[in-house]
Amino acid sequence: MLPDTHIPAGSVVPLGERIPLPGRGVTFVRHAPGPPGAPTILLLHGWLATGALNWYRCFEPLSEHFNVLAIDHRGHGRGIRSNRRFRLADCADDAAALIDQMSAGPVVAVGYSMGGPIAQLLWREHPDLVNGMVLIATGAEFVPGNRHRYAASALLVAAVGTRVGSAATIVPRGIVKALLGTPDTRDRPSDLTEWGRQEMAKHSGRVMLEAGHAVANYSAKRWIGNIDVPTSVIVTEEDSAVSPEAQLRMAMAIPGAHINRIPLGHVSCIDPTFGRKVTDACLDVQNRIDLGYDPHPPDYHDEP
C-alpha cells in the first residue's frame, strides 16, 4: 500500500487494478491483503463516492485482520461504464462476479449508504457468496412514503435528460468540501478537498442522477426480515441524509442484528475513528460466523 499525497496524513490507500468481469465490463478494485488465510471483507461505497474516498480510513485497520476488497460501482470513479440505466441489482451482480473472479467468497459485505442496498441485494441474489454483513448509514428504504419517493424520482429522471446530466461531472471545490464536511484539524483540509474533487470528477454525471433515482425507489421492507447471516448495523445518529429512525427500523427488522450508534452524520467516513469502528463491527460479525451463527436462537423459537 502506498500513501496518496492528497489523502489526509496518516491514511493509506492501496493501489487499484482494473479487472474484467466476463459479460459485464471492466471494473476497478482496490485490494489490501490481510494475514494468510484471513477471511475477505468486500467494501461497497455510497452514492457520489468511490472505493477510495468512502473507505480511506478503513484499509489499514481492516487489513490487520482481513483480506480487503473495495470496488468502484458502475459509473462511479473508475467503475464499469455501460449504456444501460443504472440499477442497484446490477451493482450487486458486479460484486458477485468480482467475488467469483477473485475466488474470494464467501465474504462479509460492508455497505455504506447506497452500498447498504447493494449488500442486501448481494445477499438476496447470491446467498452462497455472503456469510455476514455490516450496514452503515443506510436503510431498507431511503425516501419515506410512496408520494415522496415518486416525486424525488420524477425530479431525478427529468434531470437526466437536461444539461444537468453532463454538467454533473464538473464538481466545484465548494460542493466537495460541503459533501466531505469539516475534516479533523490534524488533516490538511485543502488536500482532502482536492483529492475528493479528483475522485468525484471521474464519475459519470448521467449515472449519478440515475443512481439517485434508484436509491430513492429502493425498498427491501418486504424481505429485510429474511436476512439469515450475522449482521452489525452502525447507526449514524446525526445523519440528515438517511434518518437515524430509518436506520434503526432496518436494524430491528434483521433477526439478531447488533446495533452500534455513533454520534456522527452522513459523512462519518472522514472521521479519524471511522476505520476502527468499522473494523470492530467486522470482527463482531466474523466472531459470530466462527462460532456458528443461528439467526433464530432458542428464545426466538415458539414454545412447543
Q: Give the tens place of pLDDT for each residue, 41-52.
A: 999 999 988 999
Q: What is the pLDDT of residue 204?
A: 85
- What is the rounded distance in angstroms from the CA atom of residue 226 to the CA atom of residue 12? 37
Q: Give the tens place of pLDDT for each residue, 78-114.
A: 999 999 999 999 999 999 999 999 999 899 999 999 9
The β-bridge partners of 219 are: 141
Residue 291 has pLDDT above 60, yes or no: yes
Contact 110, 209 (CB under 8 A): no
Residue 179 has pLDDT above 50, yes or no: no
Q: Is 26 helix (H, G, I), strand (E, B) or coil?
A: strand
- What is the rounded distance in angstroms from the CA atom of residue 203 to the CA atom of residue 106? 29
**H-run or E-run covering 129:** none
The sheet carrying 231-236 orders its strands as 16-21, 25-32, 67-71, 40-44, 107-112, 130-136, 231-236, 258-262
Q: Give the tens place of pLDDT for each residue, 26-65.
A: 999 999 999 999 999 999 999 988 999 899 999 999 999 9
pTM of the model: 0.84
- What is the rounded distance in angstroms from the CA atom of residue 187 to the CA atom of residue 57? 12
* Measured distance between the N- and C-terminal CA atoms of the chain, rounded to whole angstroms: 56
Q: What is the pLDDT of residue 228?
A: 96
Q: What is the pLDDT of residue 205?
A: 84
Q: Residue 12, Cα to own-chain centre: how many angstroms?
A: 19
> Shortest CA distance to 214 belongs to which of 95, 115, 98, 111?
115
Domains in the chain, please, with CATH? 16-219+226-300 (3.40.50.1820)
Cα distances from 137 to residues 1, 45, 237, 238, in angstroms, run 27, 11, 9, 10
Q: Give the tens place of pLDDT for each residue, 133-166.
A: 999 999 999 876 555 555 555 555 555 454 444 4
